[in-house]
Structure 1
Amino acid sequence: MTPARRIALALLWLAALAVAGWVIGQRLQLSGDLRRFMPTAQTPAQKLLIDELGEGPGSRLLLLAIGGDAPQALAAQSQALGQALAAQDVFKLVANGAGQGLDAVPERLRPYRYLLSPTLDEQTFDADYLREQLDQRVQDLGSPAGELIEPLLPGDPTLEMLRLAEAWQPAQAPQTLHGVWFDRAGRQALLAVETRAAGFDPTGQHSAIEAIRSAFASARGASPAQLTISGPGAFSVEIGGRTQREASLIGTIDGIVFALLLWLAYRSWKVPLLGGLPLATAGLAGLGAVAALFDGVHGITVAFGFTLIGVVQDYPIHLFSHQRPGLSPWASARSLWPTLGTGVASTCIAYLTFFVSGVDGLQQLAVFTIVGLATAALTTRFVLPALIDPAPRDAAGSPWLARAWTRLARWPRIGLAGSASIAALALAAIVFVPGPFWQNDLAKLTPVPADALARDAQLREELGAPDVRYVIAIERGDAEAALQASEALMAELPALRRRGAIAGYDLAARYLPSAKTQRERQRRLPDAAALRGALAAAVADTPFRSDAFGDFLADVERARAAPPLSARDLAGTPLAVSVDGLLLQRAGHATALVSLTGLADPAAVEAAARRHGGRLLDLKQASESLVADYRGRVLMALALAAVLLAAAVWIALRSPRRVLRVLAPMALTTLLILAVLRLAGVELNLFHLVSLILAAGLGLDYALFFDHAGDDRAEQLRTLHAVIVCSLTTLLVFALLALSSIPVLRAIGVTVALGVAANFALALLIVRAPAAAATEGAHAHA
């Protein structure tokens, strides 16, 4: 093929990649939902955790704090910000203390106060009760609170709405200054915002946060005030932004150094460009396959998948390093294909085991990896040779490489005894180093800085948020049944608090009684004639006019005829935040939650919950058990992968000695990685385990090519050249990842970087054969 045709083919390949990238970009939907990387929940606590993690109101809550100015100025900014956000569709609710209390229930729902309040459980609206209440109102009007109470009296002489507002106040509600919420120090105005987008919907949360910042910029004006935003959605946006920035920086550095290394290794400006084509093709093919087979591609899948450059970049490098004058690129590719194909097939078989995990995220990783590896290998074998110029030089003729190989040849080869000793030392470190072996805390996988998490905890405490570790869950077929059961439990909770078993509690039934309870209260309301007569008798003995309470009579009549209030009717009101967070509804299923603070006697609380068909759930323990279940599935996949990988190598080599020699570096490297991490005090997480397969694929690649070289010195030098270039470029990629602030990327980087170094050294010391005459070498690996 002429140089002009090679250039045309390369340009055609680039154009195909550009078109494919555009098509995939149109279809691609990135997801940040961590539930994709969780196994199927088995226990009630795990199911609750998974539901709440991605879709629950808690994941949608953003906490805002405005500070840096005088309290009155901050209050005005809070008012302006709250009004601006409340007018936008991206927010389900905005609360800042303004309009709370008596205004927690809008005018359209005011008649329902008689159905929501427990007053009618013990009282009736007869003349005696109404006279008692009106006498109390006369005294109230003479008190300092008289100006506040007087406007309420025509429609609510019993102050039912005021009683409800007081009952609904959380035990640790934030203080109110200048009409809005402030922290205890009075230096920061506080707001709570619920977004319509789920907490781990990065696009929706980004839009919400941008809207908040824009509205605050308008509300602040020239004030020096600063806005702090916290919560799962804010963390999700921060994680996404940081991941994108770090991935862009690492990718840029990798690309520059990768091109520089290839230019230095092959002294040709074309090699870096041609070597990048199989890599780009592999990445797009993997991404396209995941986009086609799954509803949304997880960001972790993309981040991990593109680290495939650490493996697939080896394929064109081997082809370049084995080029020599007198041998066409096609012949070189054919001679390398059995070895290259064995490595690719073995690694793909190893990743196939992720399909048995039952975890959507791992299955995405498997598809991305298998398609990417296969695409890179096939394009290297069947397309790339057409673009390569005939080799002007042979890597085996390099003087520095010959000197390096001569020095390496003096190193003693490691046999069975040496391998057993290394394995024993590594196992001793793994087993006997003190400290936790596994990392079960999901929170430690987040890249959110510790100070930001501390700030979030502080804001939640200021806003009176309950302890989210322990909850009572009552599951029923619908919301009505769940509310009825929680009402029965609510009767026991005050006694538990008096005994010190709990410090406080909250549940949806405090704000929204069941329809059954509301109907019972409706039946206790007197009809219009009876109420009018009782009220006339009561008013006769007071200074009030006989026609002063017409609004009261009308509201009671509306309450008698109204259908029971449901959670759906509360949408858009401050009450919706409390009810939606404590009453989780799905199709054909509802869960009423009781949040607990200061749990001191779990046994007593558990016994009370069980009497009413509920369970006391420890969400921290649930998250740890979920991680443990996930780890068990990954370990099962790893064990199966090891068996299948060994079987694939056996089928390819058909020699017990060669198979053991090829697998030994990979197996020892796995033990050494685990030992080094244990000695460094690193608790192993799921991504360390997943990365072990990637490291194993690299080790298998190095070992197979040293085995392929046999004892032919020239072939050994070409293989050494290829493996040095492969290991340096791969080490660069994963060393940079090891410096990342993203825990997932850091775990991958550290694990694979250790694997590259150990695999290179062990492949040299175990697999390489002594050099012999070229004819003998040819016979050795024929």
Structure 2
Amino acid sequence: MTPARRIALALLWLAALAAAGWAIGQHLQLSGDLRRFMPSAQTPAQKLLIDELGEGPGSRLLLVALSGDKAETLAAQSQSMRNALAARPEFKLVANGADLGLEAIPERLRPYRYLLSPTLDAQRYDAATLADALQARVQDLGSPAASMLEPLLPHDPTLETLKLAEAWQPANAPQRLHGVWFDRAGREALLALETRAAGFDPQGQQAAVDAVHAAFAQARGASASTLTLSGPGAFSVEIGGRTAREASLIGTVDSLVFVLLLWLAYRSWKAPLLGGLPLASAGLAGLGAVALLFDGVHGITVAFGFTLIGVAQDYPIHLFSHQRPGLSPWASARALWPTLGTGVASTCIAYLTFLVSGVDGLEQLAVFTIVGLGTAALTTRFLLPALIDPAPRDAAASVWLARAWAALARLPRLRAGAVLALAALALAVAVWAPGAFWQNDLAKLTPVPADALARDAQLRGELGAPDVRYVIAVSAADAEAALIASERLLPQLQTLQARGAIGGYDLAARYLPSAATQRARQARLPDAAALRAALDSAVADSPFRADAFAPFLDDVAAARAAPPLRTGDLDDTPLAASVAGLLLQHPGRATALVSLSGLRDPAAVARVAQAQGAQLLDLKQASESLVAAYRGRVLLALAIAAVLLAGTVWIALRSPRRVLRVLAPMALTTLLILAVLRGLGVELNLFHLVALILAAGLGLDYALFFDHASDDYAEQLRTLHAVIVCSLTTLLVFALLALSSIPVLRAIGLTVALGVAFNFVMALLIVRAPASRGGVDAHA
């Protein structure tokens, strides 16, 4: 093929990639829901944990602190931000303490105050009760609060609205200064925001965070105040931005090093360009396959997928390094294909096992990797040879490579006994190194700095946020049954609080009693004639006019005839967020939650909950059991993959000795990686396991190609050249990842970097064959 035709074919390939990228981009829907990387929940606590991770109010909560100026200035800024953010569509609730009065009960719901308040559980609206209330109002009108109460009295002479508003305030609510929330020291104004977007919706949380900063910039003016923003959404935005910056830096360095190494290795500017085509094809093919087969592509799938198919850059490198004058690129590709195909098939089999994991995220990762690696291999075999210069330099003619091989040839080859001894030593270190072997605590995987987490905990404490570990759950067939069941817990909860077992509690029935309770209170309301007679008697002994409380009579009549209030009636009110966070509704089931604060005696609370048919759930234990279940599935997949991988190598080589020799470096390297990590005190997590598969795939490739070279001196040099270039490019990428501030990237980077180094050394010491005597003489 002429140079002009090779250039035309390369441009056509690039055009096809550009078109494919545009088409995929039009239909690609990225997801940030971490539940896709979680196994199916089995226990009630696990199910609750999964629900809360994605959709619960806890994942939607943003905490704001304003500091650095006078309290009056901060209060004004807090109120300005509240007004601005309450009108924004990104937020369901904006609270700063200023809306805990009458605004908590919208005008359309105020007649329901008699059904929501517990007052009628203990008394009736008779003449004596109303007379006492009117005498108290006379005193109130002589107090500083008169201007606030006077507009309310015609509708509510018993002040039931204020009683409800006060009862609904959190038990550990922060203090109010200048009408808004402040911390205990009085130096920081506090706000609590609930976003409409779920905590792991990156676009939605980014929009909410941007809105907060814009509102603060407008409220701040020339003030010296500062903003602190915390919460899962704020952390996810920060992590996403930092991950993108680090990934961009690593990707840029990787690309530059890839270009530089290939240019140095092959003394041709074409090599980096041509070598990138199979890799780009692999990425687009994998992404397109996932987009086609799944409803939304997870961001982790994309990030991990492009990392894992990085092994595909080895395929064109092997083809370049094995090229030599007198052998066409097509013939070279055919000669390499059995070895290359075996390596590709083995690596794909390892990821194929993820398809039976039952975890959507792992299934996506498997499809991305398998399709990507297969595409890279096929394009290297059937397209790339058409673009390669048919008369390249022969790597076997390199003087420095010959000297390097001569030095390596003097290294002792590891025999079976030495391999087994080294494996036993590595296994002993991995098993008996001090510290826990597995990392089950999801919190330790977070890249959020410790000082930010401490600040978040401080703000939650100031705002009286409930315990995030323990919660009482009451499950039922529907919301009404769940509310009734949770109401039965109220006497026991009050007893626990009085005994000091808990500091406080909150539940949906506190804001929205069950329909049964509402009807019972409704039945205790006097009819119109009885209420009018009682009111006339009370007014006669007071300074109020006889007709002053006609609106009160209308409200009671409306309450007597009203249907019970339901959750849907609370939409667009401050109560909606409180109830939604404590009453989880799904088709066919509902769960009423009791959040706890100041929990001191979990055992006592568990006994009370169990006696009422409820459960005290430990969400920390649930997360750890979920991680353990996930790890169990991954380990099972790895065990199946190991068997299938060995079978694939056996089919390709058909020699027990060769099969053992090829598999030994990979197996020994896996043990050595575990020994080093455990020796360094690293607790292994799921991402280490995923990285071990990638490291195993690299090691298998190195061993297969050294085995392919056999005792042919020239082929040994070409193989050494290819493996050195492959190792250096891969090692640099993952060494950079090992330096990342993101724990997930750091775990993958360190594991694979160790794997590259160990696999290279072990393949040389175990698989390489001595060169033939004639080959040595010919190149001496």
Map of 2:280 onto structure 1: 280
Is residue 712–residue 773 contact of structure 1 (8 Å, CA) maintained in 2?
Answer: no
Question: Bigger CA drift: 282-291 or 767-776?
Answer: 767-776
Q: 2:474 aligns to what? A: 474
Q: Does 1:539 align with 2:559?
A: no
The equivalent residue for 1:780 is: none
Q: Match of 1:254?
A: 254
Deviation at residue 139 of structure 1 after TM alignment:
3.3
Which whole-Å CA distance do the structure 2 matches of 1:32 and 1:219 have between them?
32
Q: Deviations over 1:132-167 (max 9, x none)?
A: 222232333344544443333222111111211221
* C-alpha displacement of 1:226: 2.1
Counterparts of 1:391 and 1:751, CA distance in 2: 39
Q: Alignment partner of 1:199: what SS?
A: coil
Give me the whole-angstrom Cα distance separating, in 1, the residues matched to 2:220 and 2:602: 47
Q: Which residue in the other structure is 2:52 paired with?
A: 52
- Secondary structure of the structure 2 residue equivalent to 1:575: helix
How far, CA to CA, are the matches of 1:191 and 1:570 in structure 2? Answer: 22
Contact 1:714 1:774 in 2 (8 A): no
Q: Distance in 1 between matches of 2:31 and 2:342?
A: 34
State how far apart, in whole Å, the 2-side matches of 1:5 and 1:13 are: 12
**How far is the alpha carbon of 1:56 from its aligned partner?**
1.1
Question: CA–CA distance in 2 between the matches of 1:754 and 1:192?
Answer: 45
| 2:541 match: secondary structure | coil
In 1, Cα distance between equivalents of 2:604 and 2:393: 82
Task: Say whether the 8 Å CA contact 1:712–1:774 is kept in structure 2.
Answer: no
1:461 is matched with: 461
2:154 equivalent in structure 1: 154
Aligned to 2:450: 450
Query: Are the aligned partners of 1:262 and 1:271 in contact in 2 as well (CA < 8 Å)?
Result: yes
Cα distance in structure 1, aligned partners of 2:774 and 2:215: 76
* Counterpart position of 1:593: 593
CA shift for structure 1 position 107 = 1.2
Q: CA 1:594–1:427 in structure 2 vs 1: closer, same or farther (change >3 Å)?
A: same
572-581 vs 316-325, greater mean Cα deviation: 572-581
Contact 2:309 2:372 in 1 (8 A): no
Aligned mates of 1:394, 1:147 — CA distance in 2: 95
Q: Does 1:764 align with 2:764?
A: yes
CA contact (8 A) 1:711 1:776 kept: no
**Offset at residue 192 of structure 1 (A):** 1.4
Amino acid at match of 1:676: V
Q: Distance in 2 between matches of 1:213 and 1:610?
A: 45
For residues 145 and 299 of structure 2, the distance between their equivalents in structure 1, rounded to whole angstroms, comes to 57
Identity of aligned residues (%): 80
Q: Structure 1 residue 613: deviation in Å?
A: 2.0
> Hey, what does 2:607 align to over in structure 1?
607
Does the aligned pair in 2 maintain the 1:309–1:730 contact within 8 Å?
no
- Specify the SS of the correspondent of 2:5: helix
Q: Measure, in 2, the Cα distance between the counterparts of 1:137 and 1:774.
A: 113
Following the alignment from structure 2 to structure 1, what is the Cα–Cα distance between the partners of residues 728 and 235? 35
Paired position in structure 2 for 1:648: 648
1:508-587 aligned within 5 A: 508-587=508-587
2:366 alignment partner in structure 1: 366
Q: CA separation in 2, counterparts of 1:30 and 1:234?
A: 19
Paired residues of 2:278 and 2:316 also in contact (CA < 8 A): yes
- Give me the whole-angstrom Cα distance separating, in 2, the residues matched to 1:392 and 1:311: 24
Judge which range, 9-18 or 215-224, deviates more.
215-224
Deviation at 1:112, TM superposition (A): 0.9
1:114 corresponding residue in structure 2: 114
Q: Distance in 2 between matches of 1:615 and 1:180?
A: 36
Q: Which residue of 2 aligns with 1:378?
A: 378
Cross-structure match for 1:753: 753
Looking at structure 2, the residues matched to 161 and 642 of structure 1 have their Cα atoms a distance apart, in angstroms, of 68
Shift of 1:483: 0.4
Instruction: Assess if the C-alpha contact under 8 Å between 2:111 and 2:559 holds in 1.
Output: yes
State the alpha-carbon separation in 2 of the partners of residues 392 and 194 from structure 1. Answer: 64
For the residues of structure 2 that align with 1:572 and 1:78, how far apart are their CA atoms? 21
Partner Cα distance (1:577, 1:166) in 2: 17
State the Cα RMSD in Å.
1.5
Offset of 1:286 from its aligned partner?
0.7
| Number of equivalenced pairs | 778
SS at match of 2:197: coil
Deviation at 1:705, TM superposition (A): 0.2
How far apart are residue 242 of structure 1 and its match?
1.2
Looking at structure 2, the residues matched to 250 and 212 of structure 1 have their Cα atoms a distance apart, in angstroms, of: 31
CA contact (8 A) 1:712 1:776 kept: no
Say whether the 8 Å CA contact 1:39–1:359 is kept in structure 2.
yes
Q: Which sits farther off after the overlay, 265-274 or 97-106?
A: 97-106
- Of residues 484-493 and 375-384 in structure 1, the stretch that sits farther from structure 2 once superposed is 484-493
Q: Residues of 1 paired with 2:610 and 2:234: CA distance? A: 37
Provide the C-alpha distance between the structure 2 equivalents of 1:123 and 1:733, rounded to a whole number of angstroms.
74
d(CA) in 2 for partners of 1:231 and 1:621? 22
Match of 2:129 in 1: 129
Instruction: Verify the 8 A CA contact 2:714 2:775 in the aligned structure 1.
Output: no
Q: How far 1:622 moved relative to its partner?
A: 0.2
CA distance in 2, matches of 1:99, 1:56: 22
Q: Find the counterpart in structure 1 of residue 689 from structure 2.
A: 689
Question: 5+ unaligned residues in a row in structure 2: which ranges?
Answer: none
Letter in 2 for 1:74: L
What is the identity, as a one-letter code, of the residue corresponding to 1:494?
Answer: Q
Q: Distance in 1 between matches of 2:490 and 2:482?
A: 12
Q: What residue number does 1:30 align with?
A: 30
Q: Distance in 2 between matches of 1:621 and 1:308?
A: 31
Following the alignment from structure 1 to structure 2, what is the Cα–Cα distance between the partners of residues 644 and 99?
63
Q: Is the 8 A contact 1:304 1:745 kept in 2?
A: no
CA contact 2:465–2:597 (8 Å) conserved in 1: no
Letter in structure 1 aligned against 2:21: G
Give the CA deviation at 1:225: 2.1
Amino acid at match of 2:572: G
Amino acid of the structure 2 residue aligned with 1:625: S
| Deviates most, 417-426 or 159-168 | 159-168
Matches of residues 337-486 of structure 1 in structure 2 within 5 Å?
Answer: 337-486=337-486
Deviation at 1:470, TM superposition (A): 0.6
Could you report, residue by residue, the CA deviation over 1:714-743 in whole angstroms, capped at 9, with x for unpaired residues?
000000000000000000110011111111
CA distance in 2, matches of 1:350, 1:687: 15
Report the CA distance between 1:238 and its aligned residue: 1.3
Where in structure 2 are the equivalents of 1:30-109 lying within 5 Å?
Answer: 30-109=30-109
Cα distance per residue 1:664-692 (max 9 Å; x no partner): 00000000000000000101000000111
1:591 is paired with a residue whose SS is strand
Partner SS for 2:50? helix
Query: Partner letter of residue 528 of structure 1?
Result: A
How far 1:775 sits from its partner (Å)?
8.4
Q: Normalising by structure 2, what TM-score?
A: 0.98
CA contact (8 A) 1:324 1:391 kept: yes
Q: Secondary structure at the match of 1:326?
A: coil
Q: 1:335 and 1:329 mapped to 2: Cα distance?
A: 10
Structure 1 residue aligned with 2:639:
639
2: CA distance between counterparts of 1:367 and 1:31? 16
Mapped to 2, the partners of 1:400 and 1:40 lie a distance apart of 56
2:622 aligned partner: 622
Deviates more, 1:72-81 or 1:479-488: 72-81
| Stretch deviating more after TM superposition (184-193 or 712-721) | 184-193
CA apart distance, 1:774: 6.1
Q: Do 1:81 and 1:219's aligned partners in 2 also have CA atoms closer than 8 Å?
A: yes
Are 1:302 and 2:302 counterparts? yes
Amino acid in structure 1 at the alignment position of 2:290 = V
Please give the per-residue CA displacement for 1:271-297, whole angstroms capped at 9, x wherever unaligned. Answer: 000000000110111111111111111
1:230 aligns with 2:244: no
The separation in 2 between residues aligned to 1:342 and 1:660, in whole angstroms, is: 15
- In the alignment, what sits opposite 2:268? 268
Q: Aligned partners of 1:553 and 1:108: how far apart in 2?
A: 16
Give the match for residue 665 of structure 2.
665
CA contact (8 A) 1:305 1:368 kept: yes
Give yes or no for the alignment of 1:739 onto 2:739.
Answer: yes
Check the 8 A contact 2:279/2:310 in 1, yes or no. Answer: no
- Return the letter of the residue paired with 1:234: A
Cα drift, residue 190 of structure 1? 1.4
Residue 224 (structure 2) pairs with residue 194 (structure 1): no
SS in 1 for 2:488: helix
- For 2:196 and 2:466, the matched residues in 1 are separated by 22
CA contact (8 A) 2:92 2:577 kept: no
With the length of structure 1 as denominator, give the TM-score of the two structures: 0.98
Q: CA deviation at 1:215?
A: 2.3
